[in-house]
Structure 1
Amino acid sequence: MTQITSQPSLVILDRDGVINEDSDQYIKTADEWQPIPGSINAIGRLKAKKIPLAVATNQSGIARGYFSYGTLTEMHNKLFSLLGDAKDAIYYIAICPHGPDDDCRCRKPKIGLCEEISQKLSIPLSQSVYFVGDSLKDIEAAIAANCTPVLVKTGKGVRTLATKSALLDDCLIFDNLEKFVDYLQ
């Protein structure tokens, strides 16, 4: 795989399965929120490269009553604490608190979270924006938002690869977030 020669204008990360371990039972507390090995370091490396970073995350556990906004804030505070000096690497976190039947505009695979990030950071969505996820919903959102789709094999990534979806044909695929950051060098 050829490495890119120009720096991305923005990297958007899905949260569960990319930054932290995922669970089919949902991540419901800050104690359950555990970083994927290497992900915190990878975020620090993106900061060192001066690449703006944002997070786009579906959090239907709020709509389902599994956890509150306050608990979600505790999870994100844990992330920022683990990042230490690199805590300002993440410029913005866009969340969708809705359930799958709420017909909102923000729930991936819709592009509302990407548009929110683009507006908040004043960075147009384009081919110089990479969207890193572990599910087909992430890849669909990336493609619909005109971002470069990136699949990591952490979280649900291996399961997503097994679908053999045609959406993955033009998708960059890496073992984990660290390997993606290696690619950006």
Structure 2
Amino acid sequence: MKVEIVEFTEWTVINAALQSGDIDANNFQHIPYLNAQISARGYDIVPLQPSIVVPMGIYAGRAKDLDTLPDGATIGIPNDPTNSARALKLLELAGLIRLKPDIDQDAASPLDIADNPRHLRFSEIDAAQLPRTLPDIDLGVITLNYAVLAGLDPKAALKLEDETSHWTLVWAARRDRAQDARLVRFIEIYRSAPVRDFVLERFKGSILPTW
């Protein structure tokens, strides 16, 4: 099967290209981000099969571990709404905060924290800049695409998502093309054992297959 891969340098235009028919499918976003884009821009785009997880991790800044995190510590989290919610969920999984149970977990903000026993403070920062801010904050919650580019080791994360993450990336297509036989077949090939083995070997934990 012959496939043309189109690379974008600005991710806010990728769904626009899909909606306009310039591309047949994309694979860069999780469902919360896709839902936010559909709500904001009216795209008729649907999620297909999950692809990979680019794990989000909690990285040491001035604080070196979770157990000795000082009261009133500053935590850097992404400033876009979907990844801000994702960061808060990871902090909850790490036992640092507790979110209100009756909220939309995909849209959680620091205002939705029900319990913050260490009186943590949250600094919302552009996701790409978070690694650079680590010397000035106690912890940073960073996705591995930015962490690896900044030279951070996934194994050094104090807490790291795994392949069961709610924020897995998904293949997406315009609704009227979602059942295209070529696209269905391509995703079947992508979600095969050889591709899984390649991802595990090539990316050493910085990208995780979901199949």
Question: What is the TM-score when the length of structure 1 is the normalising length?
Answer: 0.29
- Higher gyration radius (CA): 2
Higher strand share: 2
The answer to which structure, 1 or 2, has the higher relative contact order (CA under 8 A, 6+ apart) is 2
